[in-house]
Structure 1
């Protein structure tokens, strides 16, 4: 669960959330994505970015007002 103050949805906070999601995706799926890239020639960064955004929807956010 990620706790966020409702008034703290600044661009910096959004970038921080994206970075956390990117690290999480890289940790969980990095090896399998690299293998897929080697087999298909796809772009690694694009695949990581797509999974990063999908991963954000799996988080439970709690907004403190």
Structure 2
């Protein structure tokens, strides 16, 4: 669960969320992503960024107003 202040959804907060998501994805699927990137000649960092953004939709958010 991710707790956010509704009035503070600035760029810094969004970057922090993507960073947390990247760590989660890398921890969970890092080896598989590296293998997939190598097999399909894709940059690992690009693939990780895309998967991290997709992963953000799986979080439960709580907004404090």
Q: TM-score, normalised by structure 2?
A: 0.92
Q: CA RMSD in A?
A: 0.9
In the TM superposition, residue 38 of structure 1 has moved relative to its aligned partner by: 2.3
Output the CA distance in 1 between the equivalents of 2:39 and 2:2: 35
Measured in 1, the distance between the counterparts of 2:42 and 2:10 equals: 33
Moved over 3 A (4+): none
Number of residue pairs aligned between Structure 1 and Structure 2: 65
- What's the counterpart of residue 19 of structure 1? 19
CA positional deviation for 1:41? 1.7
Gaps of 5+ in 2: none
Q: How far 1:45 sits from its partner (Å)?
A: 1.1
Q: TM-score with structure 1 length normalisation? A: 0.92
Give 5+ residue unaligned stretches, structure 1: none
Within the alignment, does 1:35 sit opposite 2:19 as a pair? no
